[in-house]
Amino acid sequence: GSSVRGRPRMSKAGPAHLRKLLYMPAVVARRCNPHIKALNDRLLAKGKSKMAAIGAAMRKLAHLCFGVVHSGKPYDPEFAM
């Protein structure tokens, strides 16, 4: 049954302050950013929990932010397409 799986929990590995900073932007990006929305829909279709999808969105946001800072160019949503 459903009680065997338990509640989904986000991993506590990694810096807690980054998880705290990225949580709410990831929740908003799931609705507004087309790349993260597609990632979210794909993970939910595979049967992942909503919290796992939020964790993946947080990671994706961290990668996007690093790419913008590293390259020095503004975010371009058409770059990866």
Task: Enter the DSSP assignment of 75.
Answer: P
Annotate 37-73 with b (16+ C-beta within 10 A) or e (fewer): eebbeebeeeeeeeebbbbbbbebbeebeeeeeeeee
Reported as a pLDDT band with limits 50, 70 and 90, residue 75 is confident
54-63 pLDDT, tens per residue? 999 999 999 9
Q: pLDDT confidence of 24, banded at 50, 70, 90? A: very high
Cβ-contact 21, 65 below 8 angstroms: no
Residue 81 has pLDDT above 60, yes or no: no
User: How is the chain split into domains, by residue range?
Assistant: 16-70
Q: Under a CB-based contact definition with an 8 Å cutoff, are residues 25 and 61 in contact? A: yes
Q: Which amino acid does the sequence have at 74? A: P
3-state secondary structure labels for all residues of 12-25: CCCCHHHHHHHHHH
pLDDT at 29: 95
pTM for this model (two decimals): 0.81
